Amino acid sequence: MDSSAGRPKPSSIHVEWRENGDFVFSCRYRRAADRDAASCERSPAKRHHFPVMTLAMGNVLRKLRREHISFPLFLVSLAFNHRNLLSEIDRLLQALHEHVERQEGSGEYTCLITSGNDQP
């Protein structure tokens, strides 16, 4: 039997943008036995400085709102910054997985993703 079978696993994510372009990333995780649970505990908020991810997600938000973005400029920017973006995504997922591995039950990992490191 797999020893990780009873460990919580990520089950859903939620992104909520702020007016300044930063966003709150939340990931609910559940044990297989808790998949039908109606509510999850909130974890203390974390903060990560990921400027490239913030820029890319800002473009996602603009497209969701059907606002104009310069697609060729977006692609050039993405191509130029893809290594940094992948690194930031990897660091976010590493923080998420480290958090989930310390948990015994269902819950939620929540963090603020900022473009600047000068914020409290």
- Name the CA radius of gyration of the chain, rounded: 16
Does a structural domain hold residue 6?
no
What's the average model confidence in pLDDT over 85-111? Answer: 93
Residue whose pair of structure tokens reads 């974390």 in the numeric block: 46
More confident residue, 4 or 99: 99
The answer on pLDDT for 48 being more than 60 is: yes
With respect to residue 71, please indicate whether it lies within any of the assigned structural domains.
yes
The domain tally of the chain equals: 1
Between residues 70 and 54, the one the model is more confident about = 54
Residue 85 in domain? yes
Give the per-residue pLDDT at 35. 63
- For 118, the token pair is 């000068």
Query: How far apart (Å, rounded) are the C-alpha atoms in residues 89 and 4?
Result: 24
Residue 110 lies in a domain: yes
Residue 3 in any domain: the answer is no
- What is the span of the domain harbouring residue 103? 11-114
pLDDT: is 36 or 65 the higher one?
65
Q: What is the pLDDT of residue 6?
A: 77
